[in-house]
Amino acid sequence: MGLVKAFDDYQDSVNADIEQVRLARARRDVFKKALGAEDDVEEVFGSGSLARSTQLAPIHDVDLVVVFDADAHPTWGTAGDAAQEALSHLGGKVHVLLGATHGTVDQLVRLADPRNHAVKCFLDDPEDPDAFTVDAMPALRQPDNTLLIPEVTSRDWVSADPEYLINEVAKRQVKWPYFRPMVRVLKNWRLGVPVEGKIKSLVMEILALDCLPTAGSRPEALRAFFSAAAVRVNEPITDPADLCGEIQPDLDRVGLRDALNEASELATQACAAAANGATDDALQVWAQLFGTDFPAPAKKQTSPSVAAPALITSRPVKDAPQG
């Protein structure tokens, strides 16, 4: 098997099933249609990884933003009770329009639970840990085209610009057709990284924006990414729109840096093997990096060109869960 076919097959194991993606989009679109027809709603659009096409399987939730008419809600956007009022108002609309018992547009939502920034709408049993949810976030459009969103914990409203990241990812995809697929690969890789706590998927997306080349082959782009990201992660990873600050303040930055350095060494070794014509050796190293779902020969064939480095016997990388 060649490297191109191997990467194609591995990508298939990382990507969400197309029928699952279609179902998630269909559910999101029901919300868009129902809420978008309300008199005090100016627009409804999808956000999050599904809107950026960087989602992993399984898909348990989708995000959308409901932009309200500020004139219809003159107290919104101010400190105090307005943040909770906005979430309660949106939750009430969801109940009337899409409630599972008497929804006027559709009967989908079993529970609409206002949270900190959004209303979490359960389409399945709320007690089910894999329940599918739609996170609907109320917002006001500001003159600079950014959004003002409620924050219940601070009893205030904060600025955000989810469309910035959507647009940036789309631009990279235009430049390099593998950008979104490689973001999914990197988000999947981070699931097996031995760090304290978790690595938010958005951290990997921002690292990809900063460090993933938008040209060349996938192996070479990954090699360059891991090398650059191992340095980049030493600095705080912040909202690319420069509005919301650090994305994950509790990130185990040292653990992630160590994993990126190790991945950089392995990717460099794999690329060197491929350059020397030792395709099977390259496949073996990529499989060590990405786990057993990466197709590689069952028995490694030793090549003089890659026999000297001892890197592939270093700390094992855990297999990443696959969708």
Position 252 in a domain: yes
Cβ-contact 198, 263 below 8 angstroms: no
**pLDDT > 90 in the chain, percent:** 88
Query: Which pLDDT belongs to residue 57?
Result: 83
pLDDT tens, residue by residue, 207-241 = 999 999 999 999 999 999 999 999 999 999 999 99
Query: Which pLDDT belongs to residue 302?
Result: 53
Quote the domain boundaries for residue 78.
16-160
Answer yes or no: do 235 and 219 share one domain: yes
pLDDT interval class at 58 (50, 70, 90): confident
Answer yes or no: do 27 and 149 share one domain: yes
Position 298 in a domain: no
Answer yes or no: do 211 and 189 share one domain: yes
Answer yes or no: do 149 and 20 share one domain: yes
Position 7 in a domain: no
Examine the pLDDT at 316 and tell me if it is beyond 50.
no
Domain count, the chain: 2
Position 265 in a domain: yes
Query: Which pLDDT belongs to residue 303?
Result: 53
What rounded mean pLDDT belongs to the chain? 92
Position 135 in a domain: yes
Count of beta carbons in the 10 Å neighbourhood of residue 1: 13
pLDDT tens, residue by residue, 133-182 = 999 999 999 999 999 999 999 999 999 999 999 999 999 999 999 999 99
Query: Which pLDDT belongs to residue 221?
Result: 98
Answer yes or no: do 132 and 183 share one domain: no
Count of beta carbons in the 10 Å neighbourhood of residue 252: 17
Query: d(Cα 210, Cα 240) in Å, to the nearest integer?
Result: 9
Helix, coil or strand: residue 305: helix
Position 225 in a domain: yes
Examine the pLDDT at 300 and tell me if it is beyond 90.
no
Q: What are the backbone angles phi and psi of residue 157, rounded to the nearest 5°? A: -120, 145
- Rg over alpha carbons for the chain, rounded to the nearest Å, is 22
Mean pLDDT, range 298-320, rounded to an integer: 47
pLDDT interval class at 312 (50, 70, 90): very low
CA angle at 153 for the pair 151 and 159, rounded to the nearest 5°: 25
Query: Which pLDDT belongs to residue 301?
Result: 52
Query: d(Cα 95, Cα 126) in Å, to the nearest integer?
Result: 15
pLDDT tens, residue by residue, 237-288 = 999 998 988 999 999 999 999 999 999 999 999 999 999 999 999 999 999 9
Examine the pLDDT at 50 and tell me if it is beyond 70.
yes
Examine the pLDDT at 311 and tell me if it is beyond 70.
no
More confident residue, 57 or 71: 71
- Give the chain's count of helices (H) and strands (E): 11, 7
More confident residue, 196 or 308: 196
Answer yes or no: do 207 and 266 share one domain: yes
87-to-144, 156, 252 alpha-carbon distances in Å: 23, 12, 33
Which one, of 106, 70, 113, 74, lies nearest residue 90 by Cα? 113
Last residue of a domain, one of 106, 130, 160: 160
Cβ-contact 115, 92 below 8 angstroms: no
> What is 222-243 written as a DSSP string?
HHHHHHHHHHHTTS--B-TTSS
96-127: burial string, b at 16+ Cβ within 10 Å, e else: ebbbeeebeeeebbebbebeebbbbbbbeeee
Answer yes or no: do 178 and 251 share one domain: yes
Cβ-contact 245, 207 below 8 angstroms: no
Q: Report helix angle 279-290 to 179-189, nearest 10.
A: 60
Answer yes or no: do 116 and 26 share one domain: yes
Answer yes or no: do 72 and 176 share one domain: no
Count of beta carbons in the 10 Å neighbourhood of residue 16: 17
